[in-house]
Structure 1
Amino acid sequence: MEVNEEAERPWAGPLGPLLARPGVTDVLVQEPGYAWVDSGGALARETVDLPDADAVRALAVRMAGAGGRRLDDAAPLVDARLPDGTRLHAVLPPLAPDCAAISLRSVRARALDMEDLVASGMVTGPLGQVLRAMVARRLSVLVTGATGSGKTTLLASLLSLVDSGERILIIEEAGELSPAHPHVVRLVERRANIEGSGAVGLSTLVREAMRMRPDRVVLGECRGAEVREVLSVFNTGHRGGFATLHANSPADAPARLVALGSLAGLDQRTVELQAAIAFDAVVHVERIGDARRVTRVATLARAADASLTAVDALVWDRGRWVTGPAWESLGVRLGIEIEVGLRVA
């Protein structure tokens, strides 16, 4: 049966068929007549029926309304979640001088499981066993990577491995995580209204989550002062949780955590001391060409000068996994032994 995309996504207009394509993660518009589509490789330019800048603006306003948000000259920026879960960001002129800019990030209908990630090449060799053991042994894990590298995809897969008898509390800026798990409670922050009131931020939601009898606490993305609450949660007996962080490598994670901690009034030493205890492992994801791949597993430790540093446990190097200095202790915690320099097909 042919699907009527206009009926399925009435708010999407001519972008509906693009969002419906299998594998599409992002649809971007910044000029009349064209959209850029990300299907996992390089962005591809597509022709769309948006004949002029007025049509692009009207579509942006229409989508914002579908997400329950206002977009006009008085409020020219919007970040909203659309009815099917798609995340919308839009900017109107004059902030986007020539034409309204629309960014759509689609949400998977189902979370990819570990077998899916292995089949796609995101998880290779012994890494699947390592990740499963992290979940089973209740390690607290920080997932790092750049925008679009696959952090959310990996995290949803890991949460799908959690025992069905456990209760998962997910706190997000925008609802993107949908793990295949029977007991998930999702909390999504609320932005201030046009009068500047009514905001409920991530810090508040993390605190509230602790009153909801969680077995696992998950922060979809750590990007601000909420890092204080996350470190507190993971330092007070709530093990087995997850958070994601924008960072170019595990080595950059300590500096990012310190910078975010400063927004919450924490000094560097406090952040470093708490982070070294809070996170048992750092799992790093990269986008390499058309592929997304887990490339490093590390631990956080205190260096000789008392600063926080990331120490490699596993490194993907020229088609094989190589163990680093932290593997011995991490492997013992996970109950796993692998060969140094194990070559992976």
Structure 2
Amino acid sequence: MTTRRDFLLGLGAAGVATAVPAALGATDGHRLLTATDVHVKDYPTVAAIEWIGRELERATAGRLRLRMYHSGQLGRESEAIDMARFGAIDITRVYSGALNNAFPLTQVLSLPYVFDSVAHLRRALDGPVGAQVLRGFGARDLVGLAIYDCGARCFYNARKPIVGPADLHGLKFRVPSSDIFMRMIRMLGGNPTPLAYGEVFSALQTHLIDGAENNLRSFHSSRQFEAARYWSQSEHSYAPDVLLMSRRSFDSLRADDRSLLLDLARRSVAVMRALWDESEAQARTALVAAGVRMNECDLPAFRKAVQPLLSDYHRVPALEALYRDIRSLA
């Protein structure tokens, strides 16, 4: 497996410090694009990006190709964002919670209880709301290619069922590096612990944390269920994933290639969703068979507990406008 260190050493050996296109590209217009994801090989987002690569190669008769580095081979999501911004990689799939602090428009997608269901989320992402969020990445050297939804985020832990906010009191929960999620856990009475996704399993095993929050598919594919046997259907956030590209890499493509890549990225959303829906159902069946205890939550109590957080973000005009657009689609 290629590691981030091996990858960067390869760039150094090629005499290129900042741009993969120069290191991995070739003459006569041929180009090898690099893409990263922290998820495992068969994860729906990884499969969707690989689909883009196959279609890109077919449409250009092999002139454009894509190499996928899955399973966090090139590092954490925070590292991938910076590598894309500076042109060290071309494309990366990143959870929107990891983007909240640097890209404010993504905050509305991560706030608790903004979306009522997966169908509601998809209506918003497929319309003007999603388009506006994608345009926002242009402010910091990135191109928003697509938004991949990833189900409802819920709580899971190694201690007990979580039914209402009081059940989180005193428990240490992993959160992404997002002010929204840290404040939310505090409001619910828990102790937020920011950790990279790849560190969660060992943190659960060593009792550095008591639990975390994520979608069902990730809970299963990461095998975190082996250390955290309680899944609680809190559905507190539907924060999606975002497919991003280095502005430097994007601008270096021919105009027709840029149009092709944007089209394929948009079309890959349907590919990802079909795989997601199927694999999420399979994951739920597998988790029940593995003995994971699943329970429903007191959703009105959770909504009430996080209302002060929502109220603070309502004061930001750009976020309030997006929020109203989202709720109009409920």
Work out whether the TM-score is over 0.5. no
The two structures have a TM-score, normalised by structure 2, of 0.32
The structure richer in helix per residue is 2
The structure whose Rg is larger is 1
The structure richer in strand per residue is 1
The two structures have a TM-score, normalised by structure 1, of 0.31
Q: Which structure exhibits the higher relative contact order, with contacts defined as CA atoms closer than 8 Å and separated by 6 or more residues?
A: 2
